[in-house]
Amino acid sequence: MLDFSKTAFVFPGQGAQYVGMLKDVADAYAVAQETVEQADAATAEFSLSQLMYEGPEEQLNDTKVTQPAVYVAGIAMLRALQSEMPNALPAFVAGHSLGEFTALTAAGALSFEDAVPLVRERGRLMQEAGAQHAGGMAALLGISAEDAARLVKDAGEQTGEVLVVANDNCPGQIVISGDNTALDAAVAMAKDYGARR
């Protein structure tokens, strides 16, 4: 029997979605299919399972759909694993962005029934905010956090638009976000500030 006493489960955020996601797990594990059906009932304005299993990709990639899809897939896979290995209780949980909600559910701090509508609303609000304030993001590789901060400050001042460091993903990978004009200027200047790509 595997020992999970020192195991961490890390859950992904938006961007982990793809058409056909979870279909094989839901076909093999009734608990996974039941999880998706529970979510379908809570997302009545669209069939989450249909979009996850069959697409179309454009709809699955809508933030208001993507976020519940990634969350539900994480919980369904966790439940499938625990149906095979009841001792699969992680010592630690973590999540990247949206994955924090999956981690909270895995830890027992947030119920699935409460999380599905919360994650759905989070996705809807994020999509709405993005439509109201168009912008973009770029991942810079091989740049320090300090140099990225200087870059966004200089590009913002040069264009008069908003640009910020959005994520410090790991050493050498910084995501910047903001107005497209400032973002384009920063990308053009990035190598001068130490970015490899």
**CA 172, 98, 19, 9 torsion-angle sign:** positive
CA distance 60 to 79: 23
Q: What is the pLDDT of residues 94-130, one digit of tens each?
A: 998 999 999 999 999 999 999 999 999 999 998 898 8
Between 129 and 191, name the one with better pLDDT: 191
Q: What is the pTM of this model?
A: 0.80
φ, ψ (nearest 5 deg) of residue 12: -80, 165
3-state SS class at 77: helix
Residues 6 or more apart whose CB falls under 8 angstroms from that of 38 comprise 112, 113, 116
Q: What is the pLDDT of residues 158-186, one digit of tens each?
A: 999 999 999 888 888 899 999 999 999 99
Q: Nearest CA to 60 among 23, 106, 103?
A: 23
95 beta partners = 11
